Chain A
């Protein structure tokens, strides 16, 4: 529509990239450009440059809190409804219960509260709990730690069982360095006995991660496999 004869090819591409980033082009032209971004790296770089320039205008957008229900819908679309309990193991049932409840508020959806025997927790005993959200969508884990006897339990929510690898649990301290807590022994209900020196380091706010390691644990002392899950410890 414009007289494009006066533009050199480089200028032409640059103008197009700028127009795309501004958003002034009609729908069909935008679609063509999006295709080109995927196949033409030099053109994609021009687009990225304009994006970086114009992002200086981003402070012009006022912040408006969206209704809480929007995040619930996002989670439901990405992760589906809470998994129904498929076992007599009481903890799993209560977990599903809490997960369902958690849909009501963002804060509650981050943490679940239960006692290792599956009863709803009534405070008093300082049991610390972390939900280790699964990163692959195939499984999730719940860790509970009782400072009184130094016992940590890792319980799979939906274990992918036929895997010859080990799940290794890491404590992520404030400095961000992972330290191995131990391997998840699925035969022993996920019990990990925490060593005395390590007990000192487990308190509210520290994070845990679970990585997939060769059978028997990481050969290097640091996570080598993918991090399957991570979570932060909170007091009940």
Chain B
């Protein structure tokens, strides 16, 4: 995957097409999960791959793997979009539909699992509500406002509480080297 991105950085359109084939189901999954709307997710996916094409040169300087670089571009764009919206429309039924349509792909599923799982141990040391909030915020792109509603606490309380969890997490990750 990293090799493909390097070729994309050289402007190789065939490599770009191949990169899209291999990675677009994952990045589309990111868009759907965070934006919760199919049309918005398709629009976002276009924008994301245009950025991938434009920013491929900076991949070498970025930390982390090719997969996390791609997901970061997708998440940042999707979260920017949803924060710019006034209020996301929560629709449980839509989300079930999306899950049903997901395509299991053993080959690529493996590729997305090669990130270290050290964080799991540190997450396990947090109070369960705190680790759940951290993970849900990341995966679903929840805002502080949504988290405050979810946990039925004031906005300032949720922020202080989550920050404490994040700093504990950092301490744990650093102590593992």
Contact = CB atoms under 8 A, between A and B. Distances in A.
B102 A71 contact: no
A205 to B, nearest CB: 13
Contact of A55 (B72, B108, B163): B72
B11 A137 contact: yes
A188 interface: no
B84 interface: yes
Contacts of A18: 163, 166, 169-170
Interface in A150-171: none
A104 interface: no
A24 B135 CA distance: 11
Q: Is the interface of A mostly helix, strand, loop or mixed?
A: helix
Interface of B: 7, 10-15, 17, 20-21, 24-26, 28-30, 32-34, 41-42, 45-46, 49-50, 53, 62-65, 67-68, 71-72, 75-76, 79-80, 83-84, 98-99, 101-105, 108-109, 112-113, 115-120, 134-135, 137-139, 141-145, 147, 155-156, 159-160, 162-163, 166-167, 169-170, 173
A53 B101 CA distance: 29
B166 A48 contact: no
Nearest to B28: A66
Q: Is the interface of B mostly helix, strand, loop or mixed?
A: helix
Contacts, number: 194
Interface of A: 1-3, 7, 11, 14-15, 18-19, 21-27, 30, 48-49, 51-67, 70-71, 73-75, 77-79, 106, 109-110, 131, 133-137, 226-227, 229-232
B108 to A, nearest CB: 6
A136 B11 contact: yes
Contacts of A67: 42
A167 B135 CA distance: 52
Given A27-B83, A110-B14, 13 more contacts: A1-B144, A2-B156, A3-B160, A14-B166, A52-B63, A52-B68, A55-B72, A57-B138, A61-B112, A64-B98, A65-B28, A78-B50, A230-B10
